[in-house]
């Protein structure tokens, strides 16, 4: 078993399981929490993430297949998506391909929000392109919500990620256009994105 990522909340491993290559996501113990509370929190978050991924799949999203849950170890056994992170490849693509991927991103986020799912960490690091298909990974900060504030935070996070990490200024515009086309409530969400952006500018101004 090989660890490929260690974050604040979880460790990610690649291993073989029942003849297939898989990813195991294991939630890390937190020594500063009371042991019983820590067990409960990690168990709840493991279950919640698995349920969100299954809900996203039911909504037509491409996400890793969940093979098993080991609640005692706070582990999710899931499909290994052997593709390329959007963060690593989109800048080197032709504009036509960039647009195609951004439209897929917008359509996918619309599908999530339509079904009351907030990803919670939408960045191009958590999207993988494999076999001409866009996969979303890492729902660890996600939740169920139909609040436009939560939807707006999702989109605002992606907007900031595009600004910080990618060259083509049209990328997020194409995401937005596809989102609007595929989600009837998008007008109110976009108002929220503008509000959140203004709040951020105000806070930076105060600081």
**Would you please indicate which residues are annotated as catalytic (active-site) residues?**
121
Distance from the Cα of residue 82 to its chain's centroid: 17
For 100, the token pair is: 């195609």
The b/e string for 163-175 (b: 16+ C-beta within 10 A; e otherwise) is eeebebeebbebb
Type and span of the H or E element at 31: none
Type and span of the H or E element at 123: none
Rounded to an integer, what distance in angstroms lies between the CA atom of residue 2 and that of residue 19? 16
Strands (E), the chain: 2-6, 10-17, 20-27, 66-70, 75-79, 84-85, 117-118, 127-130, 133-136, 143-144
Contact 91, 163 (CB under 8 A): no
Distance from the Cα of residue 142 to its chain's centroid: 8
Within 10 A of 90 (CB to CB), how many other CB atoms are there?
Answer: 23
């Amino acid at each position: 078993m090989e660890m490929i990522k260690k974050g604040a909340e979880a460790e990610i491993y690649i291993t073989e399981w029942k003849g297939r290559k898989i990813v195991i996501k294991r939630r890390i113990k937190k020594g500063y929490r009371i042991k019983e509370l820590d067990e409960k929190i990690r168990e709840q978050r493991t279950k919640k993430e698995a349920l969100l991924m299954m809900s996203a799949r039911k909504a037509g999203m491409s996400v890793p297949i969940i093979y098993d849950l080991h609640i005692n170890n706070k582990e999710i056994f899931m499909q290994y998506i052997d593709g390329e992170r959007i963060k690593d490849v989109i800048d080197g693509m032709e504009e036509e391909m960039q647009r195609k991927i951004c439209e897929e991103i917008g359509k996918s986020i619309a599908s999530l929000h339509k079904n009351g799912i907030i990803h919670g960490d939408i960045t191009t690091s958590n999207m993988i392109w494999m076999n001409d298909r866009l996969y979303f990974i890492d729902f660890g900060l996600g939740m169920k919500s139909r609040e436009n504030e939560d939807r707006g935070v999702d989109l605002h996070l992606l907007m900031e990620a595009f600004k910080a990490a990618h060259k083509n200024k049209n990328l997020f515009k194409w995401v937005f256009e596809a989102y609007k086309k595929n989600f009837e409530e998008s007008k109110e969400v976009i108002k929220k994105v503008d509000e959140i952006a203004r709040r951020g500018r105000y806070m930076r101004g105060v600081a």
